[in-house]
Amino acid sequence: MSRTPSSSSPAASAGAPGQSSVQPVQADPADPAAAAAAARAGEGPSIAGVAERAGVSVATVSRVLNGHDNVRPATRDKVLAAIDASGYRVNELARNLRTAESRLLLTMVPDFGNPFYAEIVRGIDTVARQHGYFMLLCDTGADPGRERSYFDMLRRRRADGAICLDPATIQQALGEASQALPWVACCEFDPAVGVPYVGIDNYRAAGDAVRHLLARGHRRIGLINSDVDYLYARQRQQGYLDALSDAGIEPDPRWRMNLNSLDYEAGATAAAALMQQPDAPSAIFAVSDTLAIGVIHGLRSVGKRVPDDVAVAGFDDISLAAQIDPPLTTIAQPMRELGETAARLLLQRLANPQANVPGVLLPHRLVVRRSA
Amino acid sequence: MSRTPSSSSPAASAGAPGQSSVQPVQADPADPAAAAAAARAGEGPSIAGVAERAGVSVATVSRVLNGHDNVRPATRDKVLAAIDASGYRVNELARNLRTAESRLLLTMVPDFGNPFYAEIVRGIDTVARQHGYFMLLCDTGADPGRERSYFDMLRRRRADGAICLDPATIQQALGEASQALPWVACCEFDPAVGVPYVGIDNYRAAGDAVRHLLARGHRRIGLINSDVDYLYARQRQQGYLDALSDAGIEPDPRWRMNLNSLDYEAGATAAAALMQQPDAPSAIFAVSDTLAIGVIHGLRSVGKRVPDDVAVAGFDDISLAAQIDPPLTTIAQPMRELGETAARLLLQRLANPQANVPGVLLPHRLVVRRSA
DNA sequence: TTGAAAGCGCTAACAC
DNA sequence: GTGTTAGCGCTTTCAA
């Protein structure tokens, strides 16, 4: 990642891309005019105060602030000096109203405590900041009501665009009313909604995981899935089903479980339950690493060794996956890139509202470790 | 995809701002005036459009919008109907400028991928939203430059207040220039900076952990610490040192390590290194659970069993701590409450800038599991 | 190259 | 109760 070799830090220029940096400077405590202006404004001087101090018009100050080049160097210096001396900071509330943009990007996640989302969010944040936007992170808890209310922030102009990681079912409902709103889908998407998206091929990825288990000689393979509200859950389930069928195995419904949570706890409980039945699976495919980690714990709690008694495969390849015992075999998703791509798609859509922004699928990868 | 003149969605067709075409949701596609107005406004009607439609003044609409009670019910209904029919949404950009507040709270964390911070952030978010604020999450990477630039958002009026979870050293530098800015410190704080804070008694907590190890019969106890830039790192180290001394043990410097990361990976590497030396510790106290989990992994990689060969204690009690093998003995921090309290302190400071907001210390708790 | 002035959409005095 | 109006601080024509 290359950085501008100037003195301004990357984030410092973030708020106002392409504008001259305003240095943090102590206001001159002995200047009565500045003091009066400050008192009037409640908080530091306004652009008018700077103009007065520099002996120019507000228009000129604005030009300098925004890095326009039609300002005589001498004038610019005067203005810069006045800005410096007064400790002026641009009021983004005013600028935002005037330019009719908030420079905020909304990111809606079902659960930002989940390490999988955390990494995606980081990708979004990086790209957003590179382009002078800030990211407003919203935890929806996958609740349609909250989802909808956050979405409304777009209409209220509180955010310029949104990235949605919530279930496709929710997006669908949202989509009907909001085709025209500037948003993109990440990980979860319904191509039918007609909204730009980025994700992976969940069907094939799940198949890859199951085929790996099959290659290891397993025939009774369990599936610990999340809520089927999620598109990925349905797609991965289908991938699992078809991979088994293709291997000539009739999938037993008793091997499958649907959970309404991705917590470690949920995985542990489910695994223990799975093992209760006769002819229990000799391998388990969990649709998320957090679930898989819980599964390993649950297995251990009922006296099963991993992978000797039961093999476990996860999904996502969060950083933790390599650290647990045994290290987790899993499907790696390019989390960072997922986030970065989502942000870029959104920015693209913002820059050119009528452009036809595509859906994109990123590659996944099977990572074989010791758990399966 | 081209723009469809027909079936315009309620939101899209909402407009006819500042003009008298009063009609139901469906805009007349053949009305050039409406089209022009919509194009000009770019996005839906303004308060003036609603006023016109309802046959009242903008002041009245504003009153209804803000729930003032000095509006005749009949009038209010008219206005509500007009709002409804036009699909009006308040423009918060304008409102924010007028009221001189952004209703955004900034939260600065060194690393939001860390589950410890994630839970705190959730606490902040909950309280913020209860009070009509949104939370802007900023990952500083504990970089002073980025820290400072985020801080400047307060001065640029982009956020109304901030909660800082970054190292105390950074806060100190910030504090000098920003005593007056509305912010509070969470977890990390320097009482000398004179800023409201919430945290725990790290010194005593670390002592509790070490005393537990001592009680288990360990004499050679290692410390895997983070960067001493963090106040908590220094406090926990002192707690560790004093607990050993109090037990009549001369702490060996070779038992201590300082890491510049809290990643699992870092803990694993450090633990492996610690074990290389003769007379290696029989117990390790890691100042964070993520580190401790890495430590367990690292120990295992050099053939040590936990807790039989080496006992491990962590700090934080993230949800994962109970799930790994062996389950982690750790110091529980009230993460959620930490976040909630921080948010409340900030809100309090915002509501009453000159009030003397206190520093508060929340209780911790030793959680004994199998790792030590 | 610079300045004057018109708003962006909203809230809140201040009148009536 | 309701309307009129003056800005909030900024950007951006349009003239000079």
pLDDT of residue A148: 86
User: What is the rounded end-to-end Cα distance, in angstroms, of chain B?
Assistant: 63
What was the pLDDT predicted at A7?
29
* pLDDT of B107 strictly over 50: yes
Please write the tens of the pLDDT for every residue from A232-275.
Answer: 999 999 999 999 999 999 999 999 999 999 999 999 999 999 99
- Phi first, then psi: give them for residue B143, nearest 5 degrees: -95, 120
Q: What is the pLDDT of residue B12?
A: 27
Contacts of A298 in chain B (CB under 8 A): none
C-alpha count within 13 angstroms, C-beta hemisphere, residue A47? 16
Residue of A nearest to B294 (CA): A323
Under the banding of pLDDT at 50, 70 and 90, the label for residue A192 is: confident
Q: Give the sign of the dihedral formed by CA A3, CA A4, CA A9, CA A13.
A: negative
The separation, in Å, between residue A52 CA and nucleotide C1 C1' comes to 18
For residue A44, the model assigns a pLDDT of 85
CA B246 from chain centre, in angstroms, equals 37
pLDDT at A143: 85
Residue nearest to nucleotide C8 (CA to C1'): A98
Q: Is the CB of A73 under 7 A from strand C?
A: no
- Average pLDDT on B122-149 reads 91
Tell which wins on pLDDT, A42 or B16: A42
Q: Which of A289-303, A337-351, B168-182, B357-371 has the lowest mean pLDDT?
A: B168-182
**Would the Cβ of B59 be found within 7 angstroms of any atom in strand D?**
yes
Confidence bin at B42 (pLDDT 50/70/90): low
* Structure confidence at residue A6 (pLDDT): 30
Q: B43 near B12, Cβ under 8 Å?
A: no
Gap from B110 CA to C3 C1', Å:
46
CB atoms within 10 A of CB B277: 12
Where does residue B155 rank: exposed (0-12), middle (13-18), buried (19+ CB within 10 A)? buried
User: What number is the average pLDDT over the span A81-89?
Assistant: 96
Q: How far apart are CA A370 and CA B302, in angstroms?
A: 16
pLDDT of amino acid B229: 85
Interface-testing mutation among B158, B263, B335, with chain A (most A C-beta atoms within 10 A)? B158
Point out the nucleotide closest to A58 (alpha carbon to C1′): C3
Give me the phi and psi of B111, to 5 degrees please.
-170, 100
Interface with chain A: mutation pick from B25, B93, B130, B151, highest number of A CBs within 10 Å: B93
Interface probe with A: pick from B99, B150, B157, B370, most Cβ of A within 10 Å: B157
| Residue closest to B227 by CA, chosen among B288, B172, B175 | B288
Q: Is A303 touching B (CB cutoff 8 A)?
A: no
Average pLDDT over residues A274-290: 96
Residue A175's pLDDT is what?
62
pLDDT at residue A12 tops 70: no
| Cβ–Cβ gap A356/B1 under 8 Å | yes
For residue B145, give the nearest of A9, A135, A322 by CB distance.
A9
Contact check, Cβ <8 Å, A323/B150: no
Q: Who has greater pLDDT, A216 or A42? A: A216
Residue type (1 letter), A196 = P
Say if CB B107 and CB A93 are below 8 A apart: no
Over the stretch A139-184, which tens digit does the pLDDT of each residue have? 888 888 888 888 899 999 999 999 999 987 677 766 666 778 899 9
For residue B94, pLDDT over 90 is answered with yes
B248–chain A nearest CA distance, Å: 36
Banded pLDDT at B2 (limits 50, 70, 90): very low
Lowest mean pLDDT among B22-26, B215-219, B287-291, B354-358: B22-26
Residues 31-60 of B with CB under 7 A from strand C: 41-42, 46-48, 58-59
Which residues in chain B touch residue A26, judged by CB atoms under 8 angstroms apart? 177
Confidence band of B167 (pLDDT split at 50, 70, 90): confident
> Which of the nucleotides in strand D have any atom less than 7 Å away from a protein CB atom?
1-5, 7-13
User: What does chain B come to in residues?
Assistant: 372
Give residue A37's identity as a one-letter amino acid code: A
How would residue B175 be classed by pLDDT, with cut points 50, 70 and 90?
A: low
Angle between helix A264-276 and helix A289-301 axes, rounded to 10 deg:
50
Q: Looking at residues B228-236, what average pLDDT do you find? A: 92
In degrees to the nearest 10, what's the CA dihedral of B64, B68, B73, B79? -10
Chain A CA closest to residue B177: A26
Band of residue B4 on the pLDDT scale cut at 50, 70, 90? very low
Count of CA atoms in the C-beta half-sphere (13 A) of B299: 27
pLDDT higher than threshold 50 for residue B21: no
Strand order in the sheet with B183-186: B134-139, B104-109, B161-164, B183-186, B197-200, B360-362
Chain B residues closer than 8 Å to A177 by CB:
9-11
The separation, in Å, between residue B98 CA and nucleotide D4 C1' comes to: 18
With CA atoms as reference, report the closest residue to B43 among B13, B79, B81: B13
Nearest to B80 by CA among B99, B92, B63: B63
Mean pLDDT of B20-35: 30
Contacts of B253 (CB under 8 A, 6+ apart): none
Average model confidence (pLDDT) across chain B: 86
Asked if the bond preceding B326 is cis, omega within 30° of 0, the reply is: yes
Tell me if chain A has a CB within 8 Å of the CB of B44: yes
CB A271 within 8 A of CB A298: yes
Instruction: Answer yes or no: do A96 and B100 touch at CB < 8 A.
Output: no
Percent of chain A past pLDDT 90, that is, above it, reads 73
Tokens of A174: 């949202």
A183-186 CB contacts, 8 Å cutoff, 24+ apart:
A183/A151, A183/A154, A183/A346, A184/A342, A184/A345, A184/A346, A184/A349, A184/A357, A185/A342, A186/A120, A186/A124, A186/A338, A186/A339, A186/A341, A186/A342
Q: Note whether A157 contacts B93, CB cutoff 8 Å.
A: yes
